[in-house]
Amino acid sequence: MALSSDWFSEICRGSGTAFSLEIKEKLHEEQSLFQKIEIYDTATFGKLMIIDGCTMLSTRDNFIYHEMMSHPALYSHPDPQRIVIIGGGDCGTLHEVLKHPGVNEARLIDIDERVTRLSEIYFPELCASNHDRRAIISFEDGIQWMKNAAPGSVDIIIVDSTDPVGPAEGLFSRDFFIDCLGALRDNGIIVQQSESPFLHMDIIKNMHHAMRDAGFNHVKTLNFPQCIYPSGWWSCTMASRTNRLDDVRIKDINSRPFETQYYNADIHRAALALPEFMNHELRFGQAPD
């Protein structure tokens, strides 16, 4: 929602908060088959993508989100080779995943091709790995794709979705998590963006319950900052049936053959530490890891 011709503001009415960025100009606007997409040039955060009135990514701070959606899960798995990304049409998470030389295949499945095509124009740095021989990009329903996935065929599933409304609502359901569990190999991990712990604790708590009900025995939420998202405090949640998610490959993180701007071994360990209110909410009614 634009407050004036010079500012864009996402108003989070349920929490009585808003986040605003000064706008230099609107670069693009369209209604795709699935959602309204807007691209702005901002005064201080570079390019900004808005979907259905909600901030999706900016040039300045997207690296935090994309690194935390990919590297913690990959370094919590002993040998991640086949990765599936549901959503993530801006291709930033795909780019981070393909930095890992041990990955043999990374498949991105997004329902809206226009997000990718606009990212190629306005966020080309995020799409730098789109033509990597290991990358497979398809535009289809990720929920249906996961239903049809071969059992035990995937090492890591990354659900890089929008908020749990509209096309993304089904990605937060028990049925979807059951399909993901069936597609994962032993030690397999699912990681999903899980909103703001400060504003959306009910979503995180429901996700933990749905994942455990689906058969994931180990569930952990990681915290990280994200300036342009509501409250500036964001999270992702990892789950596995057999992987306890605490056997992190620290030596491999410290000797990684690529650069990161946010993620490192200390950040990984620190992100797993939860404030007391989250410990209380997520401990209730759950078996200990």
Q: Can 289 be counted among the known catalytic residues? A: no
- The identity of residue 106, as a single letter, is A
DSSP letters spanning 34-46: S-EEEEEEESSS-
Distance CA 238, CA 208 (A): 9
Distance CA 192, CA 158 (A): 6
Q: Are residues 281 and 205 in contact, defined by beta-carbon separation less than 8 angstroms? A: yes
Distance CA 171, CA 163 (A): 10
Phi, psi torsion values for 139, nearest 5 degrees: -115, 100
- The identity of residue 44, as a single letter, is T
Which candidate in 160, 186, 246, 247 is catalytic?
160
Which residues are annotated as catalytic? Answer: 160
